[in-house]
Chain A
Amino acid sequence: MVVIMAAKLIVKKEWLDSEVHFEANGGSRKVILKDASQEELKLVQLAGVDVFEKSSDKEK
């Protein structure tokens, strides 16, 4: 059996003091990036907001 681990989402330093306003599951959401859980960050990512480090950034 192969287990695929979802990559942990890491917010870029310059966006840590920001919050994102978007819609998910039919309702408005406000996510404060520095306090957000991985589940909330996944919703932010699904909304197409580009505030995350790319895996290639981490390898540098």
Chain B
Amino acid sequence: MALGIFTQTCAKNVSGASKVFIAEKSVATAFTITSSEISAVTGTTPFMRIDAMQDSVNWEESGERIGLNNWKVGNKIEFDVMPPAKDTNTFLQALIDGSPCGFFAIIIDGNGKCWCVGHNATDVRERPLRLSKQDHKTGKGLSEAEGNTVRITLENECGGLALPFDSTLTAAILGGSATICKWS
């Protein structure tokens, strides 16, 4: 891809991520890409809505040069769920069971942009997200806000950048009507 002019739009830029949806790699069977955006997702089961705690969803995409000529992209998604109970155990066990095959995730960022993480145009579907960490502690007392929350971390290393969804799919996801997501 040749270098071109980059123009910046004068608009507010909001930090953070508001929502995460997760699908097992095996059920999101195909992605259609148009003009470097995801324009369709084909699957047998939709992406599952995960009700994470407010302001706990974080997606980090970090690039690193390897040697002289290679580029590695790392993705890390973290979010907190609560309270530790049977339901959180069931959810965690599903992530543990699905991790060997991997996951794709939809992240809604603070600007209302929707991204598909775990898939990219270089590796296609070869390097999905995997559960890398699950962290739960009770905390020592009432003043510890993160006590009795379960932090979940999904990560991958891959060769390409995550792609955004196109305006049609983004509007459907934000509006709660996208059939690629399971809402209830």
Contacts and interface: CB of A to CB of B under 8 A. Distances in A.
Contacts of A15: 32, 34
Nearest to A44: B30
Main secondary structure of the interface of B (DSSP, over half): strand
A48 B180 CA distance: 14
Contact of B125 (A17, A21, A48, A49): A21
B123 interface: yes
Q: Among the interface residues B32, B42, B125, which one has the most CB atoms of the partner chain A within 10 A?
A: B32
A13 to B, nearest CB: 12
B125 A18 contact: no
Interface residues of B, number: 16
A1 to B, nearest CB: 37
Contacts of B33: 18-21
Interface stretch (A2-10, A22-30, A52-60): A22-30
B29 A22 contact: yes
B126 interface: yes
Contacts of B124: 21, 28-30
Given A17-B35, A51-B32, A22 B121 contact: no
Q: Among the interface residues B31, B40, B124, which one has the most CB atoms of the partner chain A within 10 A?
A: B124
A50 interface: yes
12 contacts: A15-B32, A19-B33, A20-B32, A21-B33, A21-B125, A22-B31, A28-B124, A28-B126, A47-B42, A48-B30, A49-B32, A50-B40
Interface of B: 29-35, 39-40, 42, 119, 121, 123-126
Interface of A: 15, 17-23, 28-30, 44, 47-51
Q: What are the 5 A-B residue pairs with the smallest beta carbon separation, nearest first? A: A22-B30, A28-B124, A18-B34, A21-B124, A21-B31
